């Protein structure tokens, strides 16, 4: 998991330090305050190490850092210097502190500048090749199931796709393509079945293709035969006859839930084994009625010690987190805002009611005020 | 003009007239007299408009658990929205019969919830339940109200500096 991220002169941020909860982190803030950039910076750092174990050659390491950051952020001309805010040498810094398996502290740091394509990786990190190996997951705002076949299996069009989609989309498709290696634990299996019933079917991955098989999990009939008693209380998937659909025919919100389902099903997302789960605006294109299911799954994963870092604009998501969490849960809210000098700052709190400034609540307040203004003019003022 | 409802005191500083509309004591001024009709708490006359004001105070510092449960159950099952609707309609009829509806009406409700998402939601529910029930009414020449809105305490005071509301118990405690 990532415990701390420090950004200096990096993209929108002049200086920003953020301490993460080992469980659930919710990043909120208005558009343009750098929520996604913060998420991507943490993800890029974590994924560089886990995707490239045991690299110590300085030139190779520099290339790996440069490639990953430019492919994740996609700056102009794919030049890493475009991610820095000033012109001095080595002015931008990105540093993350990580815990490997909850024990070993790892620090990953690098500096770079705008002027030349220079990049300097922390000496200690370089010399020890002291890599963080827990592979993180990034779920971007657009759903990826409908892009899966193209992004994963069309090498002839890779350049085109790479001009459109940043690396987080490719990374996620690779995660989705993994084959399940063992059965999931019963509680997780119940969540998976609940997701299938919510989206009225399941996405089935076979080689390079993915289809949606409509249907639902229903309980086995009670059996009087002793050897079948093991099925009591369990459910099985009953497909709807002749209802295999192209993924493009399925609602986008369902596809997003399908991603979460697949990551858990194929054990890409396993608490204590996988790295952090980064999720950029889970609510985008999602029917609000599905949000409770997502929050229940996230809370369950976090109770199994999965670190989750998400960004949101969504009242409903935060409200469900607030309502469904208990005293043992740890949810940390990080509020990004612009101070009086127009610099991005962060405030963190464990209590939703202490969120200030709260872009989401402010929106409701704004609606209240606008209704008064539009309907009542200056009455009462 | 100051009016009290439970632990909340309203000061309508620019009112021509402000009455406790829900007055059911026969010896008091403005005795309502029809218990079977629903009633808003206050009717306030301004130079250019009339306010119907209804107050619900689940945020009362000494609110009893039983009362709170009833309030939240009614909020969830729609009974509260129905009550707000009935109070407006019956008050409207009563004031019409009194020939007092001479200016545009604003139906303003103070509900002491913290969450402004909930007050916005309740606003929508009451508007949906009041005539014309969200329908198009090309034959209507007038509308029943100019604005219908639910505020919490903070939003009320923020939006209506000329009609400040104070919580009486907190003022007493501060002295």
Write out pLDDT tens, residues A128-166: 555 677 899 999 998 899 888 888 877 777 788 888 999
Burial class (CB in 10 A: 0-12, 13-18, 19+), A125: buried
Under an 8 A CB cutoff, do B159 and A368 touch?
yes
**A375 interfacial to chain B (CB closer than 8 Å):** yes
Residue A203 phi/psi, 5-degree rounding, is -85, 130
**Distance between CA atoms of residues A347 and A313, nearest Å:** 16
Q: Does B109 touch chain A (CB under 8 A)?
A: no
Rounded distance between C-alpha atoms, residue A311 and residue B164, angstroms:
38
Model pTM above 0.90: no
Enclosing H/E stretch for A157: none
pLDDT digits (tens, 9 = 90+) for A205-227: 988 889 999 999 998 877 667 66
User: Closest approach of chain A CAs to the CA of B9, in angstroms?
Assistant: 16
Q: List Cα–Cα distances, A367 to A112, A227, B114, in angstroms.
A: 43, 61, 16
Q: Which residues of A touch B158 (CB under 8 A)?
A: 365, 369
* Cβ proximity of A355 and A333 under 8 Å: yes
Per-residue pLDDT of chain B (175 residues; tens, 9 = 90+): 999 999 999 999 999 999 999 999 999 989 999 999 999 999 999 999 999 999 999 999 998 989 999 999 999 889 999 999 999 999 999 999 999 999 999 999 999 998 888 898 899 889 989 999 878 888 999 999 999 999 999 999 999 999 999 999 988 655 4
In DSSP terms, which residues pair with A95 in a beta bridge?
Answer: A6, A109
Helix/strand number for chain A, H first, E second: 11, 14
Rounded distance, CA A32 to CA A11, Å? 11
Q: In this complex, do B116 and A371 lie within 8 Å of one another by their Cβ atoms?
A: no
Tell me how far CA of residue A175 lies from CA of A136, A254, A268, A293, in angstroms.
10, 18, 6, 22
Sequence-distant (≥ 6) Cβ neighbours of residue A239 within 8 angstroms: A201, A213, A214, A215
Q: Is A353 on the interface with B (CB under 8 A)?
A: yes
What pLDDT shows up at residue B6?
94
Tell which residue, A210, A50, A43, has the closest CA to residue A140.
A43
What is the pLDDT at residue B123? 92
Q: How far is it between the farthest Cα atoms of chain B?
A: 56
Q: What is residue A346's predicted lDDT score, i.e. its pLDDT?
A: 95
Give B38→chain A minimum CA distance, Å.
25
Nearest to A375 among B116, B117, B146 (CB): B146
Contact state of B159 with A369 under an 8 Å Cβ cutoff:
yes
Given this model, what pLDDT does residue A117 score?
57
Residue A99 sits at the chain B interface (C-beta within 8 Å): no
Looking at residue A230, its pLDDT comes to 67
Of the candidates A315, A368, A381, the beta carbon closest to that of B155 is on: A368
Which chain A residue has the Cα nearest residue B150?
A: A368
B76 close contact with A: CB closer than 8 A: no
Beta carbons of A379 and B158 less than 8 Å apart = no
Distance from the Cα of B156 to chain A's closest Cα (Å) equals 10
Q: Is A166 exposed, middle or buried (0-12, 13-18, 19+ CB in 10 A)?
A: middle
Radius of gyration from C-alpha coordinates of chain A? 23
C-alpha distance from B90 to closest chain A C-alpha (Å): 23
Helix (H) or strand (E) holding A62: helix A58-73
* H or E element, residue B139: none
Nearest residue to A41 via CA among A130, A110, A105, A102:
A110
Per-residue pLDDT reduced to its tens digit, A45-60: 998 877 776 677 777 8
Report how far residue A338's alpha carbon sits from residue A362's, in angstroms, rounded to the nearest whole number.
Answer: 15
Share of chain A above pLDDT 70, in %: 91
The stretch A303-309 carries a mean pLDDT of 94
| Residues contacting residue A1 through CB under 8 Å, at least 6 positions apart | A20, A22, A98, A99, A102, A134, A275, A276, A307
B149 lies within 8 A of chain A by CB: yes
ipTM above 0.85, yes or no: no
Helix axes A58-73, A167-176, angle to 10 degrees: 100
CB A278 within 8 A of CB A139: yes
Instruction: Give the pLDDT confidence score for residue A166 in this predicted structure.
Output: 93
């Amino acid at each position: 998991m990532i415990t701390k991220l420090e950004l200096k002169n990096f993209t929108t941020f002049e200086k920003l330090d953020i301490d993460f909860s080992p469980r659930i982190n919710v990043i909120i803030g208005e558009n343009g305050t750098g929520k996604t950039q913060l998420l991507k910076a943490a993800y890029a750092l974590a994924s560089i190490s886990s995707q490239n174990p045991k690299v110590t050659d300085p030139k190779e390491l520099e290339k790996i850092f440069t490639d990953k950051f430019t492919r994740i952020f996609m700056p102009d001309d794919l030049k890493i210097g475009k991610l820095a805010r000033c012109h001095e040498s080595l002015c931008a810094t990105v540093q993350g502190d990580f815990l490997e398996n909850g024990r070993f502290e790892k620090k990953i740091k690098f500096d770079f500048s705008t002027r030349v394509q220079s990049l300097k990786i922390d000496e200690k990190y370089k010399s020890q090749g002291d890599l963080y190996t827990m592979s993180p997951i990034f779920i971007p705002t657009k759903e990826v199931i409908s892009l899966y076949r193209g992004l994963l299996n069309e090498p002839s069009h890779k350049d085109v796709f790479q001009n459109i989609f940043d690396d987080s989309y490719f990374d996620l498709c690779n995660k989705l393509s993994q084959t399940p290696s063992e059965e999931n634990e019963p509680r997780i299996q119940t969540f998976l079945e609940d997701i299938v019933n919510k989206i009225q079917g399941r996405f089935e991955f076979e080689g390079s293709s993915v289809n949606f098989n409509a249907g639902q999990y229903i309980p086995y009939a009670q059996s009087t035969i002793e050897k079948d008693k093991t099925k009591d209380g369990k459910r099985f998937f009953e497909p709807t006859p002749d209802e295999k659909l192209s993924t493009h025919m399925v609602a986008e919100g369902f596809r997003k839930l399908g991603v979460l389902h697949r990551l858990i099903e194929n054990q890409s997302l396993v608490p204590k084994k996988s790295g952090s789960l980064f999720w950029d605006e889970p609510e985008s294109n999602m029917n609000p009625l599905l949000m409770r299911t997502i929050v229940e799954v996230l809370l369950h994963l976090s109770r199994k010690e999965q670190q989750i870092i998400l960004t949101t604009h969504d009242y409903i998501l935060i409200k469900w987190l607030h309502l469904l969490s208990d005293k043992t849960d740890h949810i940390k809210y990080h509020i990004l805002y612009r101070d009086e000098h127009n610099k991005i700052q962060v405030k963190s709190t464990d209590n939703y009611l202490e969120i200030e400034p709260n872009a989401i609540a402010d929106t409701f307040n704004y609606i209240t005020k606008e209704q008064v203004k539009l309907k009542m003019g200056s009455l009462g003022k | 003009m100051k009016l009290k409802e439970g632990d909340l005191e309203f000061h309508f500083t620019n009112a021509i007239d402000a009455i406790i509309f829900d007055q059911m004591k026969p010896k008091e001024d403005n005795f309502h007299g029809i218990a079977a009709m629903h009633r808003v708490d206050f009717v306030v006359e301004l130079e250019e408009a009339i306010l119907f004001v209804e107050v619900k105070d689940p945020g009362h510092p000494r609110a009893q658990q039983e009362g709170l449960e009833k309030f939240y159950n009614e909020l969830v099952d729609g009974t509260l929205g129905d009550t707000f609707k009935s109070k407006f309609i019956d008050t409207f009829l009563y004031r019409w019969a009194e020939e007092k509806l001479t200016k545009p009406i604003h139906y303003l409700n103070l509900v002491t919830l913290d969450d402004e998402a909930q007050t916005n939601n309740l606003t929508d529910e009451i508007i949906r339940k009041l005539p014309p029930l969200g329908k198009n009414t090309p034959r209507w020449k007038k509308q029943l109200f100019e604005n219908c809105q639910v505020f919490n305490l903070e939003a009320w005071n923020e939006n209506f500096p000329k009609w400040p509301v104070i919580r009486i118990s907190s003022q007493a405690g501060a002295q």
